[in-house]
A and B are shown apart, each in its own frame.
Chain A
Amino acid sequence: MYKAARRLGLVFFPAFDWAISPTHPEREERLLYTQDQVLEEGILDIDGIYEYRPRLATVADVERVHVCVPDVMSRVTASHLIAAGGAIVAAEAVLKGEVDKAFAIVRPPGHHALRIVHGARGFCNINIEAIMIEYIRRHYGKKRIAIVDTDCHHGDGSQDIYWHDPDTLYISLHQDGRTLYPGTGFLDEFGGPNAFGYNLNLPLPPETGEEGFLYALDHFILPVLADFKPDLVINSAGQDNHYTDPITNMRFSAQGYARLNDRLQPDIAVLEGGYSIEGALPYVNVGIILALAGLDYSGIREPDYSPARVAQSSRVSDYIARLCDETYKAWQQRETLRAAYVRDKKEISRRRQIYYDTEGLMETQEETTLVCDSCGGLTWIDSRTDRGRHILAIFIPRDACRRCQEEGHALFERASAGAYRDGIYLQDRVADQLLKK
């Protein structure tokens, strides 16, 4: 019988009894055909492939990453906690050495969920990768982690959560934000003042084919990873770059995804988007599973695959080559660029608006970060929504220096509850707790 060259853990949670709404792309049926394909191929019988049972993530696991307004249980359903818990189960299987790699095929996804959560964005309420990563760091020690986000949409939530974290390299490949939700993910989104350069975006033009993705992998992602030397590589495995996906415009195939994963070899992959639930997901997921397990994936092919469907124009190829070159250069020059960006500022602020598409909600954030050479830096965000919510969220990073810790607590003490009608939150990652007043 088949034997995997690398031991692979699978957490399969199709949530057959949960949907956003009956006709929503994120609905009960989404992983049905993937499960059919996985079962029919006999993948769970393969020696070296083990299936794990998902569990619920705890409120504390979520609060380690997010400030949910007013609280976690108002913003999630059980399914969100199981998707996050499923990712944690996958990660633990790897970190305990039970398997070499793991793939969490769970739903709903999470990469559009930002640090502050007022509601759902792009089908995401909480960021399941980030919850998994911070769980890993809390229980298995400090790690340098690289996230390679291959979802077709820019992972603005993951970018936001790791914006100030130099120990987490976030690389996103996605369809250019000028043509797709959420409209972010450009080259100049390069990281906060204390993690400048550790957020890398590669906005690909619509109709990028197999060739373009693999080019970006070889000429940009793998070289950057070689420089960063992560302890763990996580793949945010969105599968909506597929040529049949109904809500995007790319030309990637199951073979392409399998080859990408074969070369990238992430330690943990977590399913993100992908809404071609019949034409793509069964084949893409099986392709990724085989590639991660070191099995022959050359026979994986969509029924309607043809070279014409995955071809890309030479204009696209030239554009991607220039893009990779420019972004890789920026990465190499990140220290110089940071010095120019920070100069002699003590703190750096930004103001932005965040749109919650599911609920039609607009949030305005004023974010300030202390410039700090010894940690990710204290950050605080004044957040208001157009529904009248108003909070202050203070973030003390994981490895905060003494000054940033003290300033954070002082700010929490000082801030007047009267000024923020919906509360003042302090996420203290050093103490691993969330305080609210």
Chain B
Amino acid sequence: MFVGLDMGGTHTDAVLIAGGRILRHYKTNTDPEDYLGTVTRALEAILAGINPSSIKRLNLSTTICTNAIVTGRSSPVGLLLEPGPGLNPALLACGQKNFILSGSIDHRGRPTSPLVEAEIKAADRELQQAGIRHLAIAGKFSTRNPEHELAIKEALSPGYDFITMGHRLSGWLNFPRRVFTAYLNSAVAATYSSFAAAIETFTTKKKLPVAPDILKADGGTLSLEASQSLPVETILSGPAASIMGALALAPTWQDAIILDIGGTTTDIAFLAGGVPLYEPQGISLAGYPTLVRALFSYSLGLGGDSCLQVQEGRLTIGPGRQGPARALGGPAVTPTDALITLGRLDLGDKAAARQGIAELGDKLGLGTLHMAAAILQQMAGEIARQSRALLAKINSRPVYTVREVLAGKQLQPAQVIVIGAPAPLLAAELEAAFGLPVIVPHLAGVANAIGAALSQPTTELTLLADTEQGLLTVPEEGLREKIPAGFNLERARNRALELLRERLVRLAPEVAGTELEVVEEQSFNMVSGFYTTGKNIRVKVQVKPRVTPLKGDADDV
């Protein structure tokens, strides 16, 4: 049996899956003052009377880190930066104490100016005096050579509570994002660690045979243990849970649009040949762009509870939400009231809903039923318009090779998969607005928790080899090793896959046999004068992201 839990800002959903069916589903309000209470309440409900030994997987998606950042309830962070020459680093000073240190590394990982020990010592003293216990260290091009970041850490006093090293976060280049990601990781570490400890206590007390895995924004999971050094990976995993849920409920091999229609927002995502699209760089949170890999998801301020208004003879939907539908005692008329008026939804005070829609209709000279229909049409139209705009943007993303320009591959969705509570009720309008077949999978209302339950561990790794220097670097592993003469792309690819397998065994032993894939590989001749002096090789590998199918194959789900 698999357990999945998705904690959203408003609701927390949990499901228990066995034999290809949802055995139980539990929905509760998320208590922002007590996340742990919310999680345990949901799990207690789902697990009541179940033999703990039959639980094979427990996956959680939580908003705890997101919330700590958004509400500012995070730990003060001391930031130690080595920006070297380049863009003015003043705007990157997001810590409570910030230190710009000397020293620099270039694009090939060669140190071009040294660290100054006295600067680090002075920073250390100041941090100790201020009582700051959480640090983040980030250097420009540290992913090409982490030795300066490591040396900075070495020169500090021992005993800080938590230190994030920039090069361990991601193999991607982007110094500002590395700084923000390292900052956020240290800022939420304490909050996350106490949450993780409590979850661990809960599972031990319940005698569950599996350790929980935590959902990441890229639609994969990370073991609870591993997540404690990378808590920032768990931010904004909610949309990923929904997308993976849609994928589990309506598997496809086509290009598709996924819509998750909620109360406040509609989240729009895309599948390319059945595989979810990633954010090109990393997700942004509270104004901080990060290197956290995430599934692409755009949040449109349009949902069942969006407030409806008539302004200057025009109907507007959202982006605000003033409360629940009029039928449920809310102050504003909402699309949910339109659904109730049209008899598609049996909920609350129908007369109140009808009355609200009629008032809007009066302002536009429309009958009540026409008004309700017009609202749903307009809502679907706005979602379709926004989806097309996103698609155009995605299809004009830059490419860097002749082959890619000539191929000119364009994403051309053949279907729309819709999940979220109002999904089945809006299918007709969406089909008209998109001009595409709309699929509303069975259980669309709990797709998010299903996605959490069925997601599998993912991890990635970047290997850089410079045969002129005779060095290989894997930033995510903090690895730097010598390579022999004759090292080439094929050997680099094999080494990368081998290291990824080891990483996967360490982070998620239960899925060590999962399929790995090469995402990107390049090998450039380096020439000095007119002679080839070596090769610059770059390989990116990952665990192939996938969900356990809800029905069928060897898994017991």
A residues near B (Cβ < 8 Å) are 1-2, 11-18, 22-23, 25, 27-29, 32-33, 35-37, 39-45, 51-56, 77-79, 82, 246, 278, 282-283, 286, 290, 295-296, 298-304
A298 to B88, CA, bound (A): 8
> Which residue of chain B lies nearest to A52 when distances are taken between CB atoms in the complex?
B398
Given A40-B175, A42-B87, A78-B402, A29 contacting B536 (CB threshold 8 A): yes
Which listed segment binds A: B105-113, B259-267, B299-307, B547-555?
Answer: B105-113
Query: A27, B406: Cβ atoms under 8 Å?
Result: no
The 5 A-B residue pairs whose C-beta atoms are closest, nearest first, are: A303-B112, A42-B176, A39-B173, A301-B85, A29-B524
Query: A23, B527: Cβ atoms under 8 Å?
Result: yes
A266 to B6, CA, bound (A): 53
- CB-CB under 8 A from A36, the residues of chain B are 107, 173
- CB-CB under 8 A from A286, the residues of chain B are 86-87
Q: Whole-angstrom distance from the CB of B524 to the nearest CB of chain A? A: 4
> Which residue of chain A lies nearest to B177 when distances are taken between CB atoms in the complex?
A42
Query: A42, B527: Cβ atoms under 8 Å?
Result: no
> Which residue of chain B lies nearest to A296 when distances are taken between CB atoms in the complex?
B88
B residues near A (Cβ < 8 Å) are 83, 85-89, 91, 104, 106-108, 112-113, 140-141, 172-177, 281, 287, 289, 396-403, 405-406, 522, 524-527, 529-532, 536
> Which residue of chain A lies nearest to B140 when distances are taken between CB atoms in the complex?
A40
- CB-CB under 8 A from A2, the residues of chain B are 87, 91, 176
Query: A22, B525: Cβ atoms under 8 Å?
Result: yes
State which of B104, B108, B176, B401 has its C-beta within 8 Å of the C-beta of A15.
B401
> Which residue of chain B lies nearest to A31 when distances are taken between CB atoms in the complex?
B400
- CB-CB under 8 A from B532, the residues of chain A are 22-23
Query: A16, B522: Cβ atoms under 8 Å?
Result: yes
Q: Whole-angstrom distance from the CB of A111 to the nearest CB of chain B? A: 21
Given A16-B401, A53-B399, A303-B104, A40 contacting B527 (CB threshold 8 A): no
State which of B112, B396, B526 has its C-beta within 8 Å of the C-beta of A53.
B396
A35 to B281, CA, bound (A): 14
13 interchain pairs (CB within 8 A)?
A1-B91, A13-B400, A18-B402, A29-B524, A32-B536, A36-B107, A40-B107, A52-B396, A52-B398, A78-B402, A283-B85, A300-B85, A303-B106
Query: A303, B400: Cβ atoms under 8 Å?
Result: no
State which of B88, B113, B177, B527 has its C-beta within 8 Å of the C-beta of A45.
B177
Query: B107, A33: Cβ atoms under 8 Å?
Result: yes
- CB-CB under 8 A from B531, the residues of chain A are 23
- CB-CB under 8 A from A300, the residues of chain B are 85-86
Given A17-B401, A22-B532, A78-B402, A42 contacting B175 (CB threshold 8 A): yes
Query: A12, B398: Cβ atoms under 8 Å?
Result: yes
Q: Whole-angstrom distance from the CB of A139 to the nearest CB of chain B? A: 19
A16 to B538, CA, bound (A): 13
Query: A45, B401: Cβ atoms under 8 Å?
Result: no
- CB-CB under 8 A from B399, the residues of chain A are 53-54
Q: Whole-angstrom distance from the CB of B374 to the nearest CB of chain A? A: 34
- CB-CB under 8 A from B176, the residues of chain A are 1-2, 41-42, 45
* Chain B CB within 10 Å, residue with most, of A23, A27, A304: A23
A41 to B89, CA, bound (A): 10
Query: A299, B405: Cβ atoms under 8 Å?
Result: no
Q: Whole-angstrom distance from the CB of B465 to the nearest CB of chain A? A: 14
- CB-CB under 8 A from B108, the residues of chain A are 33, 278
Q: Whole-angstrom distance from the CB of A130 to the nearest CB of chain B? A: 21
* Chain A CB within 10 Å, residue with most, of B91, B113, B531: B91
Q: Whole-angstrom distance from the CB of A289 to the nearest CB of chain B? A: 10
Query: B107, A53: Cβ atoms under 8 Å?
Result: no
A22 to B531, CA, bound (A): 9
- CB-CB under 8 A from B401, the residues of chain A are 15-18
- CB-CB under 8 A from A29, the residues of chain B are 524-527, 536
Query: B405, A32: Cβ atoms under 8 Å?
Result: no
- CB-CB under 8 A from A45, the residues of chain B are 174, 176-177, 281, 289
Query: A303, B527: Cβ atoms under 8 Å?
Result: no
A298 to B522, CA, bound (A): 33
State which of B140, B406, B525, B529 has its C-beta within 8 Å of the C-beta of A28.
B525
- CB-CB under 8 A from A33, the residues of chain B are 107-108
Given A2-B87, A298-B88, A303-B112, A40 contacting B402 (CB threshold 8 A): no
> Which residue of chain B lies nearest to A34 when distances are taken between CB atoms in the complex?
B107
Given A42-B176, A51-B398, A53-B399, A303 contacting B113 (CB threshold 8 A): yes
